[in-house]
Structure 1
Amino acid sequence: MTSEERQQSGPARATGEGTRSPYRGRFAPSPSGPLHFGSLVAALGSYLDARANNGQWLLRIEDVDQPRTVRGAADHIRRTLERFGFAWDGEVLVQSRRLDFYHAALVRLQLDGDVYPCACSRREIASHSPPRSVDGALVYPGTCRAGLVGGRAARAWRLRLPDQVVAFDDRVQGPMQQNLQRAVGDIILLRADGQYAYQLAVVADDAAQGVNAVVRGVDLLDSTPRQIWLQRRLGLPTPTYAHLPVVTNAAGEKLSKQTRASAVDPAAGSALLSAALHFLGHPVPAEISAGPLGDFWRWAIASWSIDRVPALRGVCPG
């Protein structure tokens, strides 16, 4: 399938063969700090892809991991997006208000036998784990798959992942595949500290919001096969996926709070949005980058093409 075919068939694949549903995308930042340039790139790519396809664009605050949540960060992100001219459809979904919803999904998986209790500590896993997984985490060796040993108490609940390949066609990165059991092992859906895992929350929320086209950073590319498997086990539709290159610093590290990425300044307006769009393979005319926000958005939506986004993992703006 060519990149043009991937773009044309993108959102329709989320609703079944031969049907086409209105595009429904989203931006889902974690409020672990203010919006930085890397997050702005992800927001811009997802927004333009939705608007260029005459679709809806939703905003979701992914604060299900409460220990990482910074007080006031969610409001700061919303205000920053508004000042740059982003306009989302409907109310903002906040994950921390939906814990009962994730609990219901977990109970369904428990009843179907797709998850099991695990008593292993991180230290125990590290001492028995195969080499690191595709995203740098430990590969779970399956210690508790057949049941808890010696009457130990459960610390977490894990999803059974099969020894088989899950494949999908990414609209930016191209054909992807991953053997789930060998690449990551069984993953946690409910943590030892009582927090629901990102994988469960994102799958449940995308389905609940009717999201059929996901555009996000390539740092989440390796998570996609396990999310697709979880969608299948819950009987949920699978969106199309487009993973944008992430912004890195000079050391090759993804911009994040951990790498001390600075907050973007909305006062930079069209100039900073133009820099983000240039990063995504769309050079912006000087008169647009120096002009008002309204002119930038009109030009950007009309000019957007997912085919022009570089199929790279990470890029340093230089």
Structure 2
Amino acid sequence: MSPPVFRFAPSPNGYLHLGHAYSALLNARMADEAGGRFLLRIEDTDRTRSRPEFVQQIFVDLAWLGLRWEEPVRIQSEHFADYRARLDRLWAAGAIYPCFCSRKQVLAEARAGRDPEGQPHYGGTCRQLPRAEAEERMRRGEIHGWRLDMARAGDAAAAVWGDATIAKFNVGSSYHIAVVTDDALQGVTHVVRGKDLEAATPLHMLLQRLLGLPSPFYRHHELLLDERGEKLSKSAGSTSLRELRESGVTSDVVRRRLGFA
């Protein structure tokens, strides 16, 4: 029987903070206690926000915490062909459709309701396009993304997402298709991540079903909060591990503070 596989998969769009440290340490400890493997993955499909210096800092910060991971580290931007292959399968099965609408059009034609990320549900204009017309527009090079046809998928738990974006304009992927692809290719058996991603789990499980991929065991841990009761985040400027280290805080202090002494 193969050992369980855990992973920590940060996005290099800023410096890691204590919330990331907690998640990484928790995954590493659970892997150790289960006699399993601990992987690190860099989720950098968003090329507009990802930076090489943030990637390198992830390695520095995690090593400073005393963590060790298997090599080589999977870096998503090096594997767009894998995500494209999954999109091709979904398109062939009629589970997704190309969307040529601009953001302005999407907002103008949005249906009532919003997805867990706060985006309005897509009105479905491009869902009605005949396949031949859609393929011709793609051949002409029209800019498009890819959306899941939730009505055809028939998944009540994931319906809150509406016709979710599965690949963005000129990117070739999205977080959702990339993460389920990578978890399957890397043999991940346990996904332990923050509660802020709990709403994405039904969508990920739906994609796994549509693609014939195994579904890992999911667990969503509590989030670390700041003094205002808000979750730690890069966008809010939460104190980074780098700043803590440079101010003289030791990794032992951080580990004790997070309950990993």
TM-score by length of 2: 0.87
Does residue 1:90 correspond to 2:71, yes or no? yes
Going from structure 1 to structure 2, the CA distance change for 1:274 and 1:21 (only over 3 Å counts) comes to same
- Look up the match of 1:262: 239
3-state DSSP class of the match of 2:15? Answer: coil
Cα RMSD after superposing both structures? 2.1
Does residue 1:66 correspond to 2:57, yes or no? no
Structure 2: how far apart are the matches of 1:122 and 1:250? 36
Structure 2: how far apart are the matches of 1:73 and 1:223? 25
Q: Residues 77-96 of structure 1: CA distance to partner in whole angstroms, max 9, x if unpaired?
A: 11111121101123111111
Structure 2: how far apart are the matches of 1:221 and 1:87? 26
Q: Which moved more, 1:123-132 or 1:144-153?
A: 144-153
Does residue 1:37 correspond to 2:18, yes or no? yes
1:156 partner letter: G
Going from structure 1 to structure 2, the CA distance change for 1:276 and 1:26 (only over 3 Å counts) comes to same
Q: Residues 163-213 of structure 1: CA distance to partner in whole angstroms, max 9, x if unpaired?
A: 432xxxxxxxxxxxx2x23x1111112211334101010000000000010
Structure 2: how far apart are the matches of 1:80 and 1:92? 15
Aligned-residue offset at 1:101? 1.1
Does residue 1:105 correspond to 2:81, yes or no? no
Structure 2: how far apart are the matches of 1:210 and 1:62? 17
- Look up the match of 1:271: 253
Does residue 1:126 correspond to 2:107, yes or no? yes
Q: Which of 24, 36, 48 matches 1:55?
A: 36
Q: List structure 1 runs of 4+ shifted beyond 3 angstroms.
A: 148-154, 250-253
Going from structure 1 to structure 2, the CA distance change for 1:252 and 1:61 (only over 3 Å counts) comes to same
1:271 partner letter: V
3-state DSSP class of the match of 1:72? Answer: helix
1:164 partner letter: D
2:155 partner letter: Q
3-state DSSP class of the match of 1:68? Answer: coil
Structure 1: how far apart are the matches of 2:143 and 2:14? 32
Going from structure 1 to structure 2, the CA distance change for 1:119 and 1:219 (only over 3 Å counts) comes to same
3-state DSSP class of the match of 2:127? Answer: coil
Does residue 1:191 correspond to 2:172, yes or no? no
Structure 2: how far apart are the matches of 1:91 and 1:154? 34
Going from structure 1 to structure 2, the CA distance change for 1:251 and 1:121 (only over 3 Å counts) comes to farther
Does residue 1:144 correspond to 2:121, yes or no? no
Unaligned 5+ runs, structure 2? none
Does residue 1:216 correspond to 2:193, yes or no? yes
2:117 partner letter: D
3-state DSSP class of the match of 2:258? Answer: helix
3-state DSSP class of the match of 1:60? Answer: strand
Q: Which of 155, 174, 183 matches 1:164?
A: 155
Q: Which of 121, 146, 155 matches 2:144?
A: 155
2:250 partner letter: A
Q: Which moved more, 1:103-112 or 1:51-60?
A: 103-112
Going from structure 1 to structure 2, the CA distance change for 1:136 and 1:250 (only over 3 Å counts) comes to farther
3-state DSSP class of the match of 2:13? Answer: coil
Q: Which moved more, 1:102-111 or 1:139-148?
A: 139-148
Structure 2: how far apart are the matches of 1:213 and 1:118? 33
1:220 partner letter: L
Structure 2: how far apart are the matches of 1:164 and 1:203? 17
Q: Which of 41, 46, 62 matches 1:81?
A: 62
Q: Which moved more, 1:263-272 or 1:195-204?
A: 263-272
- Look up the match of 2:5: 24
Identity %: 37
- Look up the match of 1:313: none
Contact 1:25–1:212 at 8 Å: present in 2 too? yes
Aligned-residue offset at 1:154? 5.2
Structure 2: how far apart are the matches of 1:132 and 1:25? 31
